[in-house]
Amino acid sequence: MRNDTGRSEAGRDYADAHAAHYGEKDLNQALGLYLGITAAHPPPAPKSWSQAGDSPSPRPQRAPAGFRWLVWSLVVFTAPSIVMAQAALSEALIRAEMPLNSHEKRFGDGWECDWGYRNVDTECVAVTVPLHARLDFPGDTWKCLRGYSKIDDGCTAIEVPAGAFLDARGRGWECARGFARLDQACVAIEIPEGAFGVDVSPRGWECGRGFREIDRACVVVEVPPHGFLDSRGHDWSCERGYRRADQSCIAVVVPEHGYLDGFGADWKCERGFQKAGSSCAPVRVPPRAQLTRSGNDWACDRGYRRDGGSCIEVELPPNAYLTSSGRDWKCEWSYRKAGLSCVAFEAPTNGHIDYSGNDWTCNPGYRRHDTRCARHPGGSTVPASIERE
């Protein structure tokens, strides 16, 4: 009888869940009832086999396979529907709380007032736009039109004095070219003859091309023969082949084997010649030498060095090599220079040959003391650079 009673209770519970699922279309309630059935009527725990010789206990009763499949398929297939239903319910609640003249936010939750309305104590109140004003970009406040300024709750016209104009933002004014600001007025600037009004100069004017300023006046620039106005027009320069001397331009005398330089106000000697006063003299190149890149001097070949007007050979001692210039020598690794020879050396204990290869330095934590490396009390905090005492 207990099994019949349990089955009848499970059947009644299942009938209620079925009615909520398919009759009332209440998925939340139906899912709760289905889950309650599985919790109230779990399958009995399996019994262990009896002692040897006894027959095994009967197999426990389990819920029908179709019923179990129905419950779990309902959980799997109706869960998305329940989530969507909850989202729809949340959206409906938001709509129910929205005041008039509002709409849902495009991003995120909640609502916001329509264009031309502003939020006042969770109500959307129309924005009162005064005369000579317009709604701003968000639409919940207003701003004055160009040429008007906000005063209290209205827009008042900006008074632009004579000789002025509205600035770029339209919230103030600036004096026009040829005028200077004085308190709340624009005063005309006295522009001297040969000048014109500008905005970048503090005095409000600059001398025109062909004039230069002297004592707040514009004086004509006197251009001498073979001269011309420079790029700014306030001074002059000499033509190519002439150089400036006081207030005139004099011709540049180019000697034989010479030519005008890049600026045209001086001269240089051709390749193979060098300046000698006001003329160009040939460059005397000694044996074992050649002209430099400029062509106006000479340099010794690699392995030779300059000595007066000749080139003498660089004498290399044993264990030495020419430097990159080719005019001097340097000792090889683990050799150091001693007069005109290279002497071998070894690094002491706790030392090593430095980056030059021609001296030694102590390891970290040691310091140089005469010809040895002594332990420093500070340990490895002392750098390994050479420290002579």
Please give the structure tokens belonging to residue 115: 């264009």
pLDDT at 84: 61
Residue in this structure with the two tokens 């709509």, named with its chain if needed: 95
Give the Cα separation of 300 and 41 in Å (integer): 111
pLDDT at 203: 78
pLDDT at 18: 76
> Which amino acid is located at 259 in the chain?
Y
pLDDT at 36: 76
Residue in this structure with the two tokens 């099994």, named with its chain if needed: 3
pLDDT at 2: 45
| pTM for this entry | 0.45
pLDDT at 260: 96
Residues 107, 109, 110, 116, Cα dihedral to 10°: 0
Long-range CB contacts (< 8 A, 24+ apart) of 200-207?
204/177, 204/178, 204/179, 204/180, 207/234
pLDDT at 384: 42
What value does the CA radius of gyration of the chain take, rounded to a whole number of Å? 51
Rounded average pLDDT per 10-residue block, the chain, 389 residues: 54 77 74 74 54 48 56 58 56 69 87 92 92 91 92 91 90 86 86 85 85 92 95 94 94 96 94 95 96 94 94 95 93 94 94 94 92 77 42
Give the Cα separation of 379 and 37 in Å (integer): 78
Residue 62 contacts residue 7 (beta carbons within 8 Å) = no
Alpha helix segments (H runs only) across the chain: 2-18, 27-40, 65-97
Residue 294 contacts residue 306 (beta carbons within 8 Å) = no
pLDDT at 188: 86
> Which amino acid is located at 338 in the chain?
A
Inter-CA distances, 266 with 197, 251, 292, Å: 40, 10, 22
